[in-house]
């Protein structure tokens, strides 16, 4: 059941395959004899230095994957020197996570049906040391998650989600969160000083609106292909979003990132950093905190090597000229 929850996506899982295949279609342009004796994978994001341009995406129910759940995830991310975005569907309370790891943490938010409950949760996230809010905007309803239905996904006895409650009803997810609107974005900005990122944007139109409504950042994402099947791969949507934003705020991307070369491709097409989901969840299941740290270090090492092979000494030096085709064909 836990495997199916992590591995599955919506409907026929076409977008799930596209997320990975789209990266494979993008070709890199190698350069030789550049001065890459020292390479640097570090970036700065919202005032924090990251060991590499990778964040742990918000994913639910980590105690399904490992007995220590989000505690292990937080320790693994801190050891790797990257942020962990805690999900509203965490199976561990935010103060408990804060007690075991001193790394960079953000918090992913669903609106909880009424503003007071949501305001309280935002305040708890800030008090627990979360440095940014990530509002998921692409899930007014859940998609047709057929594999979840067949696997009868549920939280076993002894595992609960303190902030997020749902039940499976003949395969359809019924939740207690509300469907967000741009008015909710404005309201959230009025009740917190934390940077507010909007996760789940795939079009230039919505990216432009995000800028107008004061978002601090955008996450280009199709929710790991778990909602609307046959939408484009995230990396295929990135150039349109980047053109609309035009450098006015940071853009992150998730969906299909499996290699260090994928990170370079995302940076070349306009992202400031990427998020990973399934890769670190499998690593968590296999090795707990050490597994998470190792997965990130593999990506960082691959990124470091790829930088040298395309003739760039740092992440900051990556631009569209590292691509063989400056505008890859969808």
Model confidence pLDDT, tens digit, residues 252-284: 999 999 999 999 999 999 999 999 999 999 999
Dist. CA 226–CA 163, nearest whole Å: 21
Q: What is the pLDDT of residues 308-325, one digit of tens each?
A: 999 999 999 999 999 998
CA-closest candidate to residue 326, choices 242, 252, 259: 242
Q: Collapse the DSSP code of 17 into the 3-class scheme (helix H, G, I; strand E, B; otherwise coil) and give the result.
A: helix
Dist. CA 215–CA 198, nearest whole Å: 7
Pick from 85-89, 139-143, 295-299: least confident: 139-143
What pLDDT sits at residue 135? 98
The average confidence (pLDDT) of the chain is 94
What pLDDT sits at residue 114? 84
Residues in CB range of 14: below 8 A, 6 or more apart? 225, 229, 230
DSSP readout, 49-98?
A: EESSSEEE---S-GGGT-TTHHHHHHHHHHHHT--EEE-TT-SS-HHHHH
What pLDDT sits at residue 329? 47
DSSP readout, 148-195?
A: HHHHT--PPTT---SS--EEEETTEEEES-----HHHHHHHHHH--S-
Structure tokens at 283: 């690593």
Q: Collapse the DSSP code of 282 into the 3-class scheme (helix H, G, I; strand E, B; otherwise coil) and give the result.
A: helix
Mean pLDDT (whole number) for 185-202: 97
Q: What is the pLDDT of residues 69-79, one digit of tens each?
A: 999 999 999 99
Mean pLDDT (whole number) for 287-294: 98
Q: What is the pLDDT of residues 80-129, one digit of tens each?
A: 999 999 999 999 999 999 999 999 999 999 998 889 999 999 999 999 99
Other CB atoms closer than 10 Å to residue 59's CB: what's the count? 25
Confidence class of residue 176 from pLDDT cuts 50, 70 and 90? low
What pLDDT sits at residue 9? 97
What pLDDT sits at residue 166? 56
Does the structure show a pLDDT above 60 at 172?
no
What pLDDT sits at residue 169? 43
Dist. CA 100–CA 1, nearest whole Å: 28
What pLDDT sits at residue 113? 80
Does the structure show a pLDDT above 50 at 57?
yes
Render the burial of 171-209: b for 16+ CB within 10 Å, e for the rest: eebebebeebeeebbeebbeebebbbbbbbbbebebbbb
Residues classed as catalytic: 223
Fold entry, domain 2-322: TIM Barrel (3.20.20)
CA-closest candidate to residue 166, choices 158, 155, 156, 176: 176
| CB-count exposure of residue 91 (10 Å: 0-12, 13-18, 19+) | buried
Q: Collapse the DSSP code of 107 into the 3-class scheme (helix H, G, I; strand E, B; otherwise coil) and give the result.
A: strand
Other CB atoms closer than 10 Å to residue 250's CB: what's the count? 19
Q: What is the pLDDT of residues 203-259, one digit of tens each?
A: 999 999 999 999 999 999 999 999 999 999 999 999 999 999 999 999 999 999 999
Mean pLDDT (whole number) for 132-144: 94
Mean pLDDT (whole number) for 47-63: 98
Does the structure show a pLDDT above 50 at 168?
no
Does the structure show a pLDDT above 80 at 39?
yes
Q: Collapse the DSSP code of 26 into the 3-class scheme (helix H, G, I; strand E, B; otherwise coil) and give the result.
A: coil
CA-closest candidate to residue 142, choices 301, 36, 285, 10: 10
Phi, psi of 311 (to 5 degrees): 75, 35
The percentage of the chain sitting over the pLDDT mark of 70, rounded to a whole number, equals 95
Phi, psi of 92 (to 5 degrees): -135, 135
Instruction: Please indicate whether residue 158 or residue 170 has the higher confidence score (pLDDT).
Output: 158
Residues in CB range of 317: below 8 A, 6 or more apart? none
């Amino acid at each position: 059941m836990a495997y199916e929850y992590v591995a599955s996506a919506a409907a026929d899982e076409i977008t799930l395959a596209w997320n990975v295949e789209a990266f494979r279609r993008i070709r890199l342009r190698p350069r030789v004899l550049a001065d890459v004796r020292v390479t640097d994978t570090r970036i700065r994001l919202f005032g924090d230095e990251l060991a590499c341009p990778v964040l742990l995406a918000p994913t639910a129910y980590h105690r399904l994957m490992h007995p220590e759940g989000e505690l292990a995830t937080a320790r693994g991310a801190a050891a790797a020197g990257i942020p962990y975005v805690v999900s509203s569907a965490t199976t561990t309370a935010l103060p408990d996570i804060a007690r075991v790891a001193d790394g960079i943490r953000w918090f992913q938010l669903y609106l909880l049906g009424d503003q007071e409950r949501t305001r309280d949760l935002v305040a708890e996230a800030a008090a627990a040391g979360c440095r940014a809010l990530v509002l998921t905007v692409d899930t007014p309803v859940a998609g047709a998650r057929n594999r979840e239905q067949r696997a009868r996904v549920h939280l076993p006895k002894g595992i609960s989600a303190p902030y997020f409650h749902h039940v499976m009803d003949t395969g359809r997810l019924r939740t207690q969160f509300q469907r967000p609107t741009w008015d909710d974005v404005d309201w959230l900005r009025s009740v917190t000083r934390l940077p507010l990122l909007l996760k789940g944007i795939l079009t230039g139109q919505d990216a432009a609106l995000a800028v107008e409504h004061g978002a601090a950042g955008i996450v280009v994402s199709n929710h790991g292909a778990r909602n609307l099947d046959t939408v484009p791969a995230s990396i295929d949507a990135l150039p349109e979003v980047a053109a609309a934003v035009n450098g006015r705020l940071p853009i992150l991307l998730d969906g299909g990132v499996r290699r260090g070369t994928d990170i370079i491709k995302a940076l070349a097409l306009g992202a400031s950093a990427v998020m990973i989901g399934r890769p670190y969840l499998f690593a968590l299941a296999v090795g707990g905190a050490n597994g998470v740290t190792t997965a990130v270090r593999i990506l960082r090492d691959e990124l470091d090597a790829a930088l040298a092979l395309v003739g760039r000494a740092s992440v900051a030096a990556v631009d569209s000229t590292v691509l063989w085709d400056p505008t890859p064909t969808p």
